[in-house]
Each structure stands twice: as structure tokens, then as C-alpha cells.
Amino acid sequence: MEPFKNLLSKKLILEIAHHISKHVTDFDEKGFIKFASKDLSSLELKQRSSRITEALEEFLPSDFESSASILLASLGNESGQAVTAGETTEKGLSGWAMMPMADYVAFQGQGHFNLSMNLLKEMTKRFSSEFAIRHFLIQSPNKTLKVLKKWSKDKEPHVRRLASEGSRPRLPWAKRLPEFISDPQPILEILELLKDDESEYVRRSVANSLNDISKDHPHLVSKIAAQWLVNPSEHRRKLVRHACRSLLKSGHTKTLRAFGYKLPKVDKVKIRILNNKVKFGGVLEFELKFSSTANKSQPLMIDYIVHHQKSNGTTSPKVFKWKVVDLQKGKDIHAIKKHPMKKITTRVYYPGQHSLEIVVNGISMGKSNFQLLM
């Protein structure tokens, strides 16, 4: 499989130089290529983008208005309705070339707000300006939010998506937005405008932004979920579920209640580990039994938590999704699960006593211990 970093390749650098040179009579094309390609093979994706941005800063005119007109003239076809980035053609630049070009606007265009906004809007139609717009949100939050609110009503889905994706408090790979991490209220109006957007591409961005917010303000997101789940369309229900995925996985009670997972009415609960000694590399096998005491069917979200032994003798919980069932009145559940206890890159295992906990609708049904043998 081709390394992800090769999306910013020597070939792309040649294309950027070629299209810029068509609009600058004295552009040092060879110098640009040499500068942008230096040690390219040793650089990761973001480092490559930064190197190309530095080359643009070095070889474009120092006057930003002149540079902006060159970049704008160098743009190629828009992505249109496609979710994926456009491709650079003989007509002009598109796709991954926008990443370093948008950063150039972010670094050099702070004194030219309206011109920079227009450039980022055009670039996002060909890829995304979600990383670059954040520099303006940090430097000029009120002005930029006003633009993003306007963009949330744009006819182009990539522009509408930028309104939500660019303002995500904890966007991966990007600068965090501390102001919105502390108080997300200013971006909630944008998410409200986009929650029923016709494009799934946009709606998924709204969901991801809410998921970001849930990490710092879980009760706020559970409140929004409850409001948005009143007579929702199937699209909105899917959005809210994706937005609340972290809260649902952690068993956040208010969020579970918003989705209709109420206090479980059950008895005769039995949790049994079928192999109390588990060899590392093998599986933990366990069963769960209980009966419904409700006078009607009840939706149940069943999760389990493995409390892993740590090096200092304490344990660390890890939640795993198991199943969602609609348990009918007077019916029983009998389920068996096998959980692998094998080497993974994200966890170091230690021998000794571990615990298994079963959780239904956020409520613990009980714990049982087992020994991990290394």
C-alpha cells in the first residue's frame, strides 16, 4: 500500500510549480522545485506540506495581494458533489495541492481578511481549507465565525462542510481551538443550521464536531441529543448517534436516556466466566443471563468492561460494545461472548487478576474476576 505521505509527492510539487509559472513571468520554477523537494523522502505528510508552504513563501511575491491573485488563477476544477478531493489537471491545481496553499493563506493573509476568506472558500471547493481556517478563528474569532455562519447556507456542500469541520474544537492533525474547547456555544448555531443538511458529507462533519464537544461538555451534548431526537428523520437520528458515539460507549447515563435506554428492569442476573484462567494469546469466554421484569418490551444496550491489570497493581477499564436488543416482556437473555486477550499495539498486558464487568443501559450488572497467565 502506498504511504499516505506520498499524496504530497515530487510529481505534485512539479505540478504546483508548473501552474504557478503560467501566471508569473519571472517565477523561479527550478528554485521552487529544489526548495520544496529537499529531503522529501524523509518527511511525513504534514512536514511535506509545511515544506511546500515555505517554498511558496520564499518564491511568491512578498505582496500578498499579488500572490493571492496568482494562487487563485492557478486553481483547477472544483470537486463538485464528490466527497473526495479533486485532481490536478492541465486546467489547474486541485486536491492535495490545496493543503500547503491554504496554509500559505493562513500564514501570509492575516492582514487581508476578506481576500483570504475568498481564497479559502475557493480552495475548499477543490479539497478542504479546514486546517487553514483555524488560524483565522484564533486570530479573529468573531469575524471568522460570521463568515462561517454565512457559508453554512452556501449552495456548495464543501463550503458548508468547512463551516462545521473548520470550527471543530479538536480536529485531528490540526491546531486545537482552546476558546471553543472551553466554551463551544459560539459554534453551536452553525451546527444547528447544518444538522439536517442534504449532504451526508456535511452531516457527518456536524456529528464529528459534536463528538469533539462531548469530550469536554458531555452533559451539553446529551442535552442537544435529546432535543434533536424529538421526531427526528432517519438522517438526523444517524447523525446524533454518530455524534454521541463516545458518550454511548462510555455509558453516559443522560445520553443513553436520550436514546431511550432507560433504567433496565431485570432480575436473576448471572455473570459467569467460563475459563477463570486465561493464557495470553487465548480468549476470555463468558456468559450473561437475566430475565425481564418490565410490563412491555425494553431496548437494552449491553456492553462489557475488561478491567486490565497495570504494572502498579491497579486496574484500567476498557469498554467494549457487545449487543443491542429489544427484550420483550417476560423474556430472558442468554448470551455467550469470546474476548481475545492477545498482543495489540495500544496496550501492554500484565499477568495477574483482571475483572470483567457487564453494563446494561449504563448500569453495572456485576463483576467477576479471572487470572491472565503470561
Domain match, 334 and 286 both: yes
User: Which band of pLDDT confidence, cut at 50, 70 and 90, is reported for residue 86?
Assistant: low
Task: Mark which of 206, 227, 259 sits at the end of a domain.
Answer: 259
User: From CA 198, how far away is CA 59, in angstroms rounded?
Assistant: 42
Domain match, 279 and 250 both: no
CATH number at residue 195: 1.25.40.290
- Is residue 51 in some structural domain? yes
Q: How many CB atoms lie under 10 A from the CB of residue 82?
A: 11
pLDDT value at position 90?
A: 87
Domain match, 319 and 230 both: no
- Is residue 68 in some structural domain? yes
Domain match, 181 and 196 both: yes
User: From CA 244, how far away is CA 6, in angstroms rounded?
Assistant: 34
User: Which band of pLDDT confidence, cut at 50, 70 and 90, is reported for residue 346?
Assistant: confident
This prediction's pTM = 0.86
| Cβ contact 129:162 at 8 Å | yes
**Residue 275's Cα: distance from chain center in Å?**
38
Task: Indicate the burial class of 184 (C-beta count within 10 angstroms; 0-12, 13-18, 19 or more).
Answer: buried
Domain match, 226 and 242 both: yes
- Is residue 135 in some structural domain? no
Domain match, 89 and 184 both: no
pLDDT tens profile 228-283: 999 999 999 999 999 999 999 888 999 999 999 999 999 999 999 999 999 999 99
CATH number at residue 276: 2.60.40.10
**Across 193-197, average pLDDT:** 97
pLDDT value at position 342?
A: 93
Task: Mark which of 129, 162, 190 sits at the end of a domain.
Answer: 129
Q: Which domain holds residue 63?
A: 1-129
- Is residue 134 in some structural domain? no
Residue found under cell 494562487? 71
Task: Mark which of 205, 239, 259 sits at the end of a domain.
Answer: 259
Domain match, 11 and 80 both: yes
| Cβ contact 263:240 at 8 Å | no
Task: Indicate the burial class of 126 (C-beta count within 10 angstroms; 0-12, 13-18, 19 or more).
Answer: buried
- Is residue 49 in some structural domain? yes
| Cβ contact 120:132 at 8 Å | yes
- Is residue 161 in some structural domain? yes
pLDDT tens profile 286-296: 999 999 999 99
| Position 97 pLDDT exceeds 80 | yes
User: Which band of pLDDT confidence, cut at 50, 70 and 90, is reported for residue 85?
Assistant: low
User: Which band of pLDDT confidence, cut at 50, 70 and 90, is reported for residue 80?
Assistant: confident
User: Which band of pLDDT confidence, cut at 50, 70 and 90, is reported for residue 303?
Assistant: very high
- Is residue 146 in some structural domain? no
List of residues 6+ apart from 352 with CB closer than 8 A: 309, 371, 372
Domain match, 207 and 273 both: no
Domain match, 338 and 303 both: yes
Domain match, 1 and 122 both: yes
Alpha helices of the chain — where are they, by DSSP H?
Answer: 10-21, 29-37, 45-59, 64-74, 98-108, 113-124, 133-139, 141-151, 157-165, 178-182, 185-194, 200-214, 218-228, 234-243, 245-250, 253-258
Domain match, 156 and 50 both: no
| Cβ contact 152:108 at 8 Å | no
Domain match, 1 and 120 both: yes
For the chain, what is the domain count? 3
- Is residue 138 in some structural domain? no
